[in-house]
Amino acid sequence: MKLVAPLGIYGLWLRDVKRFLRTPSQIVGSLVFPLLFLVFLSFGFGGAAIPGLPEGIDYLQYLVPGIMGFTMLLGASFAGLAILSDQDVGFLKEILVAPVSRTSIVLGRIAGGSTTAIVQAVLVFLLSIPLGFEIAGWLSIPLAAVFLALIAITFVGFGIALASQFSDSEGFSLIVQFIVFPLFFLSGAIYPIEGLPTVVQYLALVNPLTYGVDGLRAALVGSSSFPLVVDLGALVISSIVMVALGAYLFERVEAV
Amino acid sequence: MNRPTNAIAVEGLTKRFGETTAIEDLSFTVEGGELFGLLGPNGAGKSTLINILCTLLGPTEGTARVNGHDVTSETGAVRDSLGIVFQEPAIDEELTGAENLAFHARMYGKRKAERQQRIPEVLDLVELAEVADDPVENYSGGMQRRLEIGRGLMHEPDVLFLDEPTTGLDARTRRDTWEYIERLNEESGVSIVITTHYMDEADFLCERVAVMDQGEVVAIDSPAALKASLGGDIIALGLANDGGELFERLDAQSWVREYTPTEDGVAVTMARGEQRVADLVRLADDAGAAIESVDLQKPSLENVFLSLTGSTISEREASDAAESHTEAADEDSSMERPTETAEATEAPGAVE
């Protein structure tokens, strides 16, 4: 078996995309949470003086990249859940018995999960424009796309690694709640991490989402806490680590 | 050692889950093109064996080869050579029938031209061409099974595993599925290994049957030879008295192979029982026995299992189910579920 089977990866990706497009209720459902945060936080804190907010940056401008990052987290946890629901309905066996390496299966699932997560984040972005979000320049788009892809790979990889440690979707769903929100609050998505206690700031610095949100902000708003290279480097490293971890842990999954 | 003509060659295969031994020191071969049955109660280790053969589980000891390829060292070649229909449905219900087949073909590395040729062929074979573009969730239980069988054949495997192929299907659909399986074996020449706990299924379908009990193969032969090993038909006479001189008279008859007194009468073994019913009744009458009932029993695989293991399949399943609740509850996921639950959860959902 070849380590990377392009046709198998494509098949897995296509399946995820088809399933996603066929359940509009799920697409709408996945956007409810991020949009609630976006609307109420931006209205509620719009006029407030938030400590550490870069000068000349409106709170909505600051918030949109953060909420996009949050959307990616939800999308990634959904990708982890998809593996477990495949296991629940028996379809995982069909995947595991095929002459395709586990690494290819993980890559295919990351491709599928990332695509759907990115689509959700882009929808949030588009819906933020009527709310008053202004993009820094059209060159922002390709740069933001790179960051979205790296965030997706990092967290979908993490979701798969985590899902491989569970045998049923209920346990996983429960744990994910306790992971998604700390990652979100410790990423500078809704307020600058400079305002946090020093110890907590360190936690934020090891959170890949911090660099993801910062990179998106650099791309879309033109303001960031770290140099762009740092954001990019951190995310490339976290992507590689998570893909490797996902592949390593999934290798040990038994289908029966 | 390596004879590629054998569809399956198993030697000294053992699988343990912690303390529980699921299969113990199995050795057998299945020839190319054969329709082979693994017959035994739920919990006999059939599904564990199938899972090892399709590389989902590793053996604890021993070797197993599929189409000449070792299941531990040549997993890729083994997976390429086999198609499998799992006991529990394993289809994506949100996709259409054709999409499920296309997914499978891609996973097996089939390029577009091959897929476009093969998918309609398979849909025709399992008679699902008309509903090819309907979501699978609208299929009936029998249609889903057929789709899975077709999918198992998509990549033209040398060996097709069918794990309890008719569990949860209604009687008519079962019969249809049997005919499909038989025709498939005849027409495509693919070796088929089915596991079943239905005696009639093994009897109807299989050229050879391995009778499994508690992780071991207790007999392996054609259904006819297994039944013949019982020594013939049995006529059970129900008697209202002690039978008078019946037993002495039975001793004197050359056509009586053997007889055993039972609780309410006597069981007499002989060849061609249907021709001896009259003789036996006359004999008993003359001997002063008061006959209450006459029951001619043709040998069945049920009787074979009984004589090999000392209990019936349903007794075995009842005691295994009780055990699995207490002892092996944590390792039970690899064992088959009791029949009742399987049938309840896999009942066909839609109307054909």
Res B88 pLDDT > 50:
yes
Beta bridge partners of B235: B268, B296
- Provide mean pLDDT across the span B54-66: 91
Return the HEC string of chain B.
CCCCCEEEEEEEEEEEECCEEEEEEEEEEEECCCEEEEECCCCCCHHHHHHHHCCCCCCCEEEEEECCEECCCCHHHHHHHEEEECCCCCCCCCCEHHHHHHHHHHHCCCCHHHHHHHHHHHHHHCCCHHHCCCEHHHCCHHHHHHHHHHHHHCCCCCEEEEECCCCCCCHHHHHHHHHHHHHHHHHHCCEEEEEECCHHHHHHHCCEEEEEECCEEEEEECHHHHHHCCCCEEEEEEECCCCCCHHHHHHHCCCCCEEEEECCEEEEEECCHHHCHHHHHHHHHHCCCCEEEEEEECCCHHHHHHHHHCCCHHHHHHHHHHHHHHCCHHHHHHCCCCHHHHHHHCCCCCCC
Domain boundaries, chain B: 6-227, 231-298
List the Cα angle B335/B339/B340 in 5-degree steps. Answer: 130
Q: What is the pLDDT of residue B130?
A: 94
pLDDT tens digits along B255-313: 888 888 877 888 888 888 888 888 888 888 888 888 888 988 888 888 788 777 777 77
A193 DSSP 8-state letter: G
pLDDT in tens, B70-87: 999 998 999 999 999 998
Chain B residues near residue A254 by CB distance under 8 angstroms: 56-57
The alpha carbon of residue A63 is apart from the nearest alpha carbon of chain B, in Å, by: 36
Rounded Cα distance between A104 and A106, Å, is 5
Q: Which residues in A lie closer than 8 A to residue B99 (C-beta atoms)?
A: 15, 18
Looking at residue B342, what is its pLDDT? 36
Residues of A with CB under 8 A from a CB of B: 1, 5, 7-8, 10-12, 14-15, 18-19, 22-23, 89-91, 93-100, 254-256
Whether residue B107 lies within 8 A of chain A, CB to CB, comes out as yes
Closest CA to B184 of B129, B122, B142: B122
* Signed CA dihedral, A21, A94, B320, B210: sign only: positive
B163 beta partners: B195
Between B324 and B131, the higher pLDDT residue: B131
Percentage above 70 pLDDT, chain B: 89
The whole-number pLDDT of residue A140 equals 87
Chain B residues close to A99, C-beta within 8 Å: 75-76, 79-80, 107-109
pTM for the structure as a whole? 0.81
Q: Which of B18-27, B107-116, B127-136 has the lowest mean pLDDT?
A: B18-27
H helices of chain A, in order, are: 6-22, 24-45, 59-89, 91-96, 102-128, 140-163, 169-185, 198-205, 208-220, 228-250
Indicate the domain borders of chain A: 6-45+53-250
- B86, B103, B111 ranked by CB distance to A93: nearest: B86
In this prediction, residue B275 carries a pLDDT of: 87
Residue B203 clears pLDDT 80, i.e. is over it: yes
Establish if B138 touches chain A: CB-CB under 8 angstroms.
Answer: no
Question: Strand B20-31 relative to strand B258-262: parallel, antiparallel, unpaired?
Answer: unpaired
Which whole number is the average pLDDT over B224-233? 83
Task: Give, rounded to a whole angstrom, the gap between the first and last alpha carbons of chain B.
Answer: 48
Which residues, numbered 327 to 346 in chain B, qualify as contacts with chain A under a Cβ-Cβ cut-off of 8 Å?
A: 333-334
The pLDDT-based confidence of B225 (bands split at 50, 70, 90) is: confident
Q: Which residues of A50-78 are buried (b: 16+ CB within 10 A; e: fewer)?
A: eeebeeeeebbbbbbbbbbbbbbbbbbbb
Question: Which pLDDT value is given to residue B96?
Answer: 95
Homologous superfamily of domain range B231-298: ACT domain (3.30.70.260)
Pairwise CB contact (< 8 Å): A96 & B57: no
Size of interface A-B (CB pairs under 8 A): 79
Whether B6-227 shares its CATH topology with B231-298 is answered no
Q: And the tokens for A166?
A: 């569970």
- Contacting residues of B for A19, CB less than 8 Å apart: 92, 94-95
Q: Please list the ranges in chain A whose pLDDT falls under 50.
A: none
Residue B69: its chain A contacts at CB < 8 A? Answer: none
Residue B331 banded pLDDT, cuts 50, 70, 90: very low
- Residue B335 scores a pLDDT above 70: no
Tell me, which fold does domain B6-227 have in CATH? Rossmann fold (3.40.50)
**Rounded mean pLDDT of chain B?**
83
Residue B334 has what pLDDT? 39
Please tell me which of the candidates B47, B76, B90 has its beta carbon nearest to residue A99. B76
pLDDT at residue B176 is higher than 90: no
Q: What is the ipTM of this complex?
A: 0.90
B211 vs B41: CA distance, rounded Å: 9
**What's the pLDDT score for residue B349?**
39
Chain A residue closest in CA terms to B47: A256
Residue A4 DSSP one-character state: -
d(CA A109, CA A19): 13
Please name the helix (run of DSSP H) or strand (run of DSSP E) that holds residue A227, with its range, or none: none
pLDDT of residue B338: 38
Whether the per-residue pLDDT at B323 is higher than 80: the answer is no
Per-residue pLDDT band at B123 (split at 50, 70, 90): very high
- Give residue-wise pLDDT tens across range A195-241: 888 888 899 999 999 999 999 999 999 888 899 999 999 999 999 99
